[in-house]
Amino acid sequence: MSLRTAGDRNRFAQHLFAGLPARYDRLAEWLSFGQNARWRRAMVDHIVPGSPKRVLDVASGTAGVALQIADRTSAHVVGLDLTLNMLKIGQRNVAQAHQIRRVQLVNGRAEMLPFPDAVFDGLTFTYLFRYVDDPQATLNELARVVKPGAPVASLEFMVPPSRFWRAWWWGYTRFVLPLAGLLTGGPEWYKVGRFLGPSISKLYQHYPVDWTADAWREAGFEDVGMRVMSLGGGLVMWGRRAGG
């Protein structure tokens, strides 16, 4: 696996995630009170009914989503991620799940996918937009590689819309998460715990949910829908490539 990276954000993401993989799967569930698994499932629900043959999972990390797609469909799944250390644990997870024939992991950037046009029958991407410079250009690139009519679904954290829950969310992300990260995962997870809340707030200041739905349409997706989950802590979006 080789990769030429470009841009400060790519380097930042690689640096942030390089030290996390060993405990990533466990801590991602603990620190989200098990909600991450629910959200992933709700996202993959939008891919399963199409019975896809070939699915791309972008920002695949330790391959949790890619493996779920392989479990719930008969598709061959390509999981793409920027960070080699995440993919190494992903490769171990794929081997342990006996899915090496159906799940292939690739080192690459969402902004410049190493695939020809219109080759995938389904696409998922998870927690990606806080790490790219230009979400619209990235969405255009994601749309390029899926076939007309193919289902697409994504998952991202969200800032709770209700003022009451937003206050709790703010306290949790600014104080509890960094401390819980430090106690359960050490300094690397403290760093992530401090980064996460402000990075989610910033994402929605720059790119509100309505902007994102329009950006999906601009990229060539139709039937765009969304589901706010867990009191506004998570956002699952879906659609399909136009022209099917």
Alpha-carbon distance 107 to 60, whole Å?
Answer: 10
Under the binding rule (CB under 6 A), the answer on residue 44 touching ligand SAM is no
CB 148 within 8 A of CB 118: yes
**Closest to ligand SAM by CB, 127 or 221:** 127
Alpha-carbon distance 177 to 169, whole Å?
Answer: 10
Show contacts with ligand SAM in window 104-123 (CB under 6 A).
109-111
Residue corresponding to tokens 């699952």: 236
* One residue of 52, 70, 77, 131 binding ligand SAM per CB under 6 A: 131
**Closest to ligand SAM by CB, 73 or 126:** 126
Structure tokens at 200: 């989610």
Q: How many residues bind ligand SAM (CB under 6 A)?
A: 23
Span from 53-61, 167-175, 204-212, 228-236 in contact with ligand SAM (CB under 6 A):
53-61
Give me the count of residues in the chain. Answer: 244
* One residue of 17, 169, 216, 221 binding ligand SAM per CB under 6 A: 17
Type of residue at 11: R
Alpha-carbon distance 138 to 145, whole Å?
Answer: 12
Alpha-carbon distance 96 to 121, whole Å?
Answer: 26
Show contacts with ligand SAM in window 70-89 (CB under 6 A).
81-83, 86
CB 223 within 8 A of CB 237: no
* One residue of 64, 185, 193, 234 binding ligand SAM per CB under 6 A: 64
Under the binding rule (CB under 6 A), the answer on residue 13 touching ligand SAM is yes
Give contact residues for ligand SAM (rule: CB under 6 A): 10, 13, 17, 28, 58-62, 64-65, 81-83, 86, 109-111, 126-128, 131-132
